[in-house]
Amino acid sequence: MRRLIPALILFFLASPGLLRAEAYTDAKIKKLDGTIMVQKADGSPAFALQTGSVVEKGDVLTCYDKSWVILKDHRGDEIGLYGDTVVGIDELYQEGPDRELRLILQRGTLYLKANDSSSRQSFFEINAGSVVTSLDDSQSIVNYDPTQPDFQVQYIRGKIRVIDKDGERKLTVEGSIRDWKNNALVQTGDPDPMDPIQITNFDRFFNGDPLIQPTPTY
């Protein structure tokens, strides 16, 4: 036994890769419906995504009207694109407790389920214009219209921080909506409440069920 232990130590020292967690630089397409195109960073022709295929750092995803897709990374975070949405993957890396995930939302709507992370080096960020949303263990929907420019966070639960021109804000009122215009928060007081249908639709979206359309008001 005394001979075996030093031999094991020498084996692991000679094989440092065995002491490190496996690193991942991709996310898998969990579900989709409709047409979602991906443009690779190398400039090769864009192609349509399929369930089970993967996306990587540098990819730009275009989701067309009435289409949707759900991505899932190796940490279990889920990212949904819905409707007319374009998002770039600026960073995508996971190793052990570390997670580095940054999305550039060019326009449209993201449904987001972010898992908790115990690593201080980890981040999960959504950049939309000049507004940055930082996610920890949380659920949310974000919308961005660059033609206005308008940015909105529908905050369902968890830990979310938003950085705008006035600094960092921690969202605290669950089931609420915050709007930004030209990189500044619109609501000066309490946030607006979310429509309960939107909260129901959040779960329906990730289940792959059709979204409930709000009852029109006249």
pTM over 0.85, yes/no = yes
Token pair, residue 60, equals: 């730009």
Q: Is residue 13 part of a domain?
A: no
Contact yes or no for 97/144 (Cβ under 8 A): no
Q: Please give the C-alpha separations between residue 209 and each of 1, 70, 132, 149, 203, in angstroms, as whole numbers.
A: 59, 12, 30, 30, 9
pLDDT tens per residue, range 1-51: 555 555 544 444 455 544 567 999 999 999 999 999 999 999 999 999 999
Give the mean model confidence (pLDDT) for residues 106-133: 93
Q: Is residue 1 part of a domain?
A: no
pLDDT of residue 12: 44
Could you tell me which residue, 25 or 119, shows the higher pLDDT?
25
Percentage, residues of the chain above pLDDT 70: 89
Confidence of residue 121 (pLDDT cuts 50, 70, 90): confident
Q: Is residue 14 part of a domain?
A: no
The CATH number that applies at residue 163 is: 2.60.120.1440
Q: Is residue 12 part of a domain?
A: no
Listing DSSP states for 54-117 in one string gives EEETT-EEEE-TT-EEEEEETT--EEEEEEEEEEEEEEEEEETTEEEEEEEEEEEEEEEEE---
Q: Is residue 58 part of a domain?
A: yes
Give the domain extent around 50.
Answer: 22-207
Lowest mean pLDDT among 9-18, 85-94, 192-201: 9-18
Please provide the average confidence, as pLDDT, over all residues in the chain: 91
pLDDT tens per residue, range 151-181: 999 999 999 999 999 999 999 999 999 999 9
Contact yes or no for 128/152 (Cβ under 8 A): no
Confidence of residue 144 (pLDDT cuts 50, 70, 90): very high
- Count of structural domains, the chain: 1
